[in-house]
């Protein structure tokens, strides 16, 4: 099974290159974030034509998550980890006995901002949701755009990013709390080198300058780690020219599991 997470930064704006990427990469499960559309506006037809099932939790203009899968999903949950949250940031399904949780974590704007405090509370709620609904003993993948670079090696300039948003100690502590619960950062099981990023700021031409952060993750339980063959960041997709759509500011990240 190949599970991919990708913040597409508007599924309708990126649709031509998203479909081209699917045709090249053939993922079994594709977890999308930042759809920027409602459930009704999501372009289901080309996914259905390719043999995928589609589960969407959208929102007008902002946020939104979706899980696209070859196998028909079971146990679909929307609105996690905070059911009363008006923002569409979490969806979960079970595919082939694997629980897959797709998240778009709050950015937080800047350390000390009200949105930053809300982000920390949201992450605390996520840990509580795992306690209530999941087990470290099950086959579980919690993935998405976490808006957290968990270590200094996940930033292009640790000194420049020290204690800033996405890299602050409280954010990293919340990320570590997920690992302490029983999840494993799958990418770092296969590559512990610095210089790997999943997001680059378009405003500063970060991709062209090699200035990025690794903030998109696939966190898995030990049961899935036993089946993990690789976890790769498709940096080439971020730099690929396309006649019909600009790239997202994020690259897709794919976990490969043995069948």
- Identify whether the C-beta of residue 180 lies closer than 8 Å to the C-beta of residue 216: no
Q: How far apart are CA 203 and CA 219, in angstroms?
A: 29
Q: How far apart are CA 11 and CA 126, in angstroms?
A: 25
Q: How far apart are CA 30 and CA 54, in angstroms?
A: 10
DSSP E strands: which ranges in the chain?
A: 2-7, 29-33, 53-57, 65-69, 74-78, 90-95, 98-104, 140-145, 184-185, 199-200, 212-213, 216-220, 228-233, 253-257
Q: What is the pLDDT of residue 74?
A: 97
Largest CA distance in the chain: 48
Of the candidates 54, 55, 90, 93, which has an alpha carbon nearest to the alpha carbon of residue 75? 93
Mean pLDDT across the chain: 98
List, in order of start, the domains of the chain with CATH numbers.
2-257 (3.60.10.10)
- Identify whether the C-beta of residue 125 lies closer than 8 Å to the C-beta of residue 83: no
> Any idea how long the chain is?
259
Q: For each of the chain's 259 residues, which pLDDT tens digit applies?
A: 999 999 999 999 999 999 999 999 999 999 999 999 999 999 999 999 999 999 999 999 999 999 999 999 999 999 999 999 999 999 999 999 999 999 999 999 999 999 999 999 999 999 999 999 999 999 999 999 999 999 999 999 999 999 999 999 999 999 999 999 999 999 999 999 999 999 999 999 999 999 999 999 999 999 999 999 999 999 999 999 999 999 999 999 999 999 8
Summarize pLDDT for 212-234 with one digit per residue, the tens. Answer: 999 999 999 999 999 999 999 99
Q: What is the pLDDT of residue 48?
A: 98
Q: Is the entire prediction scored with pTM above 0.95? A: yes
Strand order across the 29-33 sheet? 53-57, 65-69, 29-33, 2-7, 253-257, 228-233
| Helix axis angle, 169-181 to 114-133, nearest 10° | 0
Summarize pLDDT for 78-109 with one digit per residue, the tens. Answer: 999 999 999 999 999 999 999 999 999 999 99
């Amino acid at each position: 099974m190949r599970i991919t997470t990708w913040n597409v930064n508007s599924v309708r704006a990126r649709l031509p290159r998203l479909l081209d990427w699917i045709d090249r990469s053939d993922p079994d499960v594709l977890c999308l974030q930042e759809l920027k559309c409602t459930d009704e506006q999501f372009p289901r037809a080309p996914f259905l034509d390719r043999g995928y099932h589609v589960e969407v939790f959208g929102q007008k203009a902002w946020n939104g998550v979706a899980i696209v899968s070859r196998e028909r999903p079971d146990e679909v949950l929307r609105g996690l980890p905070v059911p009363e949250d008006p923002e569409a940031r979490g969806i979960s399904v079970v595919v082939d006995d694997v629980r897959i949780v797709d998240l778009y974590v709050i950015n937080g704007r800047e350390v000390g901002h009200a949105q930053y405090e809300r982000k920390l509370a949201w992450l605390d709620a996520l840990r509580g949701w795992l306690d209530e609904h999941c087990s470290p003993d099950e086959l579980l993948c919690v993935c998405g755009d976490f808006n957290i670079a968990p270590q200094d090696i996940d930033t292009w300039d640790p000194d420049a990013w020290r204690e800033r948003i996405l890299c602050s100690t409280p954010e990293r502590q919340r990320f570590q709390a997920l690992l302490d619960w029983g999840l494993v950062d799958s990418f770092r099981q296969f590559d512990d080198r610095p210089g790997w990023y999943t997001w680059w700021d378009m405003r500063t031409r970060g991709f062209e300058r090699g200035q990025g952060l690794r903030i998109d993750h696939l966190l898995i339980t030990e049961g899935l780690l036993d089946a993990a063959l690789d976890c790769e960041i498709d940096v080439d997709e971020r730099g690929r020219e396309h006649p019909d759509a600009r790239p997202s500011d994020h690259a897709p990240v794919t976990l490969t599991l043995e069948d």
